[in-house]
Amino acid sequence: MTVLEPVIGWLIISKKKRVTLGQVMAGSDRPRKPVLRVMDRLVREGYAEEISDGKFALAQGEFGPMRRNPTWKILSTPLAVPRNQAKRRTLRDKIWQLVRAKRHFTLVQIQRLSGGAYDTVRIYMNMLERDGYVRRTGKEGGRITWMLIRGHNQTKRPVTKEKNNG
């Protein structure tokens, strides 16, 4: 079980509009650091807004920066999706994220980082090239280099049409 599900479940059940880190940790019965990550994610996705970020001193013998003690305003709660019904991240999603991150790459680099088959990466790159998202730019050590030319800000992968063989 992930930390996301219990945190969202607690936020839905509690119906609170303002929550502190301690409340979320106690309600979801999860450790501090993963709860912080989940709440930061909810802030990025627009479900919550951080309204204060108080710092508190470390305990005797602890080192490092002061610990965060944020308070959030809950704007809306995402629906809790059962794990088996959650949308899976496909290989094409991974490839698109890698292409956006690297911007200049070879197919072998993308294939190794995504964990997919070389032919799958090649076919998807050809589709992206056909739709104007990437282009071939030259050679690097005998391998063709590619470059992202459109869709830098597009977080979701572009919808590409499969080539009809009929």
Q: Which residue has better confidence, 163 or 28?
A: 28
pLDDT reading at 18 higher than 50: yes
Tell me, yes or no, whether 56 lies in a domain: yes
Domain that holds residue 12: 4-80
- The residues pairing with 19 across neighbouring beta strands, listed in sequence order, are 72
Radius of gyration of the chain (CA): 22
Q: Are residues 29 and 65 in the same domain?
A: yes
Query: pLDDT grade, residue 166 (50/70/90)?
Result: very low
Q: Are residues 67 and 117 in the same domain?
A: no
pLDDT tens profile 139-150: 888 899 999 998
Supply the pLDDT for residue 107.
93
Tell me, yes or no, whether 85 lies in a domain: no
In whole angstroms, how far apart are CA 34 and each of 3, 4, 7, 25?
7, 9, 10, 9
pTM above 0.85, yes or no: no
Q: What does the H/E/C string look like for the chain?
A: CCCHHHHHHHHHHHCCCEEEHHHHHHHHCCCHHHHHHHHHHHHHCCCEEEEEEEEECCCCCCCCCCEEEEEEEECCCCCCCCHHHCCCCCHHHHHHHHHHHHCEEEHHHHHHHHCCCHHHHHHHHHHHHHCCCEEEEEEECCEEEEEECCCCCCCCCCCCCCCCCC
Distance (Å, whole) CA 88 – CA 100: 19
Q: Are residues 73 and 138 in the same domain?
A: no
Query: pLDDT grade, residue 127 (50/70/90)?
Result: very high
Supply the pLDDT for residue 125.
93
Tell me, yes or no, whether 62 lies in a domain: yes
Query: Which token pair is 152?
Result: 């830098």
Tell me, yes or no, whether 86 lies in a domain: no
Q: Are residues 76 and 98 in the same domain?
A: no
Tell me, yes or no, whether 17 lies in a domain: yes
Domain count, the chain: 2
Q: What is the mean pLDDT of residues 35-41?
A: 87
Q: Which residue has better confidence, 63 or 78?
A: 63
Query: pLDDT grade, residue 14 (50/70/90)?
Result: confident
Tell me, yes or no, whether 153 lies in a domain: no
pLDDT tens profile 106-124: 999 899 888 889 999 999 9
- The residues pairing with 104 across neighbouring beta strands, listed in sequence order, are 147
Supply the pLDDT for residue 146.
94
CATH number at residue 46: 1.10.10.10
Q: Are residues 67 and 109 in the same domain?
A: no
Q: Are residues 128 and 73 in the same domain?
A: no
Q: Are residues 76 and 99 in the same domain?
A: no
Whether 21 contacts 32, CB under 8 Å: yes
Tell me, yes or no, whether 162 lies in a domain: no
Q: Are residues 9 and 62 in the same domain?
A: yes
pLDDT tens profile 40-76: 888 888 888 888 887 777 778 888 877 778 888 888 7
Distance (Å, whole) CA 31 – CA 50: 19
Tell me, yes or no, whether 134 lies in a domain: yes
Q: Are residues 73 and 107 in the same domain?
A: no
